[in-house]
Amino acid sequence: MVKEIEILDTTLRDGEQTSGVSFAVREKLSMARLLLDELHVNRIEIASARVSEGEFESVRRIAQWAAARGYLDRVEVLGFVDNGVSLKWIADAGCRVVNLLAKGSRRHCELQLRKTPQQHFADIKTAIAQATEMGIAVNIYLEDWSNGMRFSPDYVYEMVDTLKREPIRRFMIPDTLGVLNPDDCYAFCRDMVERYPELHFDFHAHNDYDLAVANVAAAVKAGVQGIHTTVNGLGERAGNAPLSSVIAVLNDHLKVRNTIVEKSINHVSRIVETYTGIHIPANEPVVGENVFTQCAGIHADGDNKDNLYYNDLLPERFGRVREYALGKMSGKANIKKNLDTLGIDLDEEAMRKVTERIIELGDKKQAVTSEDLPYIIADILKQDVYDVKVHILNYNLSLSYGLRPVATVKIRINDRDYEETSSGDGQYDAFMRAIRKIYKEQLKRDFPMLVNYSVSIPPGGRTDAFVQTYITWEYRGETFKTRGLDADQTEAAIKATLKMLNKVENILNQQSSGEN
């Protein structure tokens, strides 16, 4: 096993082969910067040659930026054995590394290309010679290599024997159809490494059997020098090996050095989630919404007693924090953890009443966030934990066919009334624009940034079903979430926003008290 592994991220190429995903030019450029500058991956594969004019523009823009940063040798494009057409496309875009796609199994060679192995190998050599003449470095994909090793290993050996003296930097061995298990993956990768110790091998996993990360670990143990990942496991069919999980396994189980900045993983994952519109599963390791959230009361109790339910995946490593869920599984320990974070202290009787209410809400399938706690306490104990500084006095939402929605809002902040009207792209957008105008134009204050907006609607098709709207906000370095519940989705979002506005006032009061 090597002491340090090279990471190629192919989110911008294989990740874009996810059904329904297409990156705009500015998004590709943004992600290239994040991957190389913030995450510090070794290499990125950014596109397939000859796809479209838009793709050409993306590659050209990334190449310009990479050249200015000294990264151009770390930017790669998938190309084809096509009499130099792909190579010209890559050169014209300003790149100088091609990942040449060749056939790594006899079936693919003979049935798809309808050529003999010798004819295909000769074509590959010609493409390599053309690339070298154009000043383009060559890596080579052995497409369907895993099935080649299973059913025609003699073909694979003949191919590598024929090409091993060519100017190829890396032989990239993919499990194209995601058919390997860790035992076979280790055996096949070890075979290649021992048979050709002078060559550099990358392993490219697919996740059809949910074994991509395990297969990457097996390949690293077998001695490959590079592995391919995608952010959030994007990719063809079931996707590729997710970068977040791979890095956790490399660091914690295999102890193999790599260049990835762990603290940036969650940030980059969230941006990619926004660009793709594909939500990260809540239980996705490392980056999922719930993976650092303890639900059972016994877990929170154990954490109070010397962190008994911690493992090596500490959330702080990835720029996150541990949370304690509130619901029917909550015990006093969960609730106390949340109250401590909010700086709220309750006696035993008050704690009992709050616990009972939270369990009651959980039985009704209503989620509770830590930001809901002050309102629950105010309702049960008839006392405010902190003063409610913001009240919505009135609002009118106008929706007319062919016209932009308009919102007029009147709110009271610290005993003063403010009113504004604004249009927007939707009713809630119009409402938010009106509120934002009050804060920025009348109060001359900064306004929180909406980081994430999600809606939970029970299945079943009822038009009167309660909607839970969750909004994540960022304000002055603090990130928090608020929830609104109502049969009307816009009303639910407005309720969540009102909680946010009061949270902001509370933050300002705390900061003001700290300064004094």
Residues tagged active-site: 13, 143
Rounded distance between C-alpha atoms, residue 80 and residue 100, angstroms? 6
Count the Cβ atoms, other than its own, within 10 Å of residue 232.
25
Which residues, other chains included, contact 58 with Cβ-Cβ below 8 Å and sequence gap of 6+? Answer: 23, 25, 28, 29, 46, 47
Rounded distance between C-alpha atoms, residue 251 and residue 253, angstroms? 6
Query: Using only C-alpha atoms, what is the Rg of the chain?
Result: 28
Strand bridging mode 323-324 / 390-398: unpaired
Rounded distance between C-alpha atoms, residue 314 and residue 266, angstroms? 13
* Residue 461 structure tokens: 């098709």
Strand bridging mode 97-103 / 406-413: unpaired
Question: Can you tell me which residue has the tokens 């076979």?
Answer: 184
Which residues, other chains included, contact 309 with Cβ-Cβ below 8 Å and sequence gap of 6+? Answer: 294, 299, 302, 303
Instruction: Please give the backbone phi and psi of residue 392, each rounded to the nearest 5 degrees, phi first.
Output: -85, 115
- Helix H or strand E segment including 47: strand 43-48
CA distances from 329 to 94, 359, 481 (A): 57, 7, 20
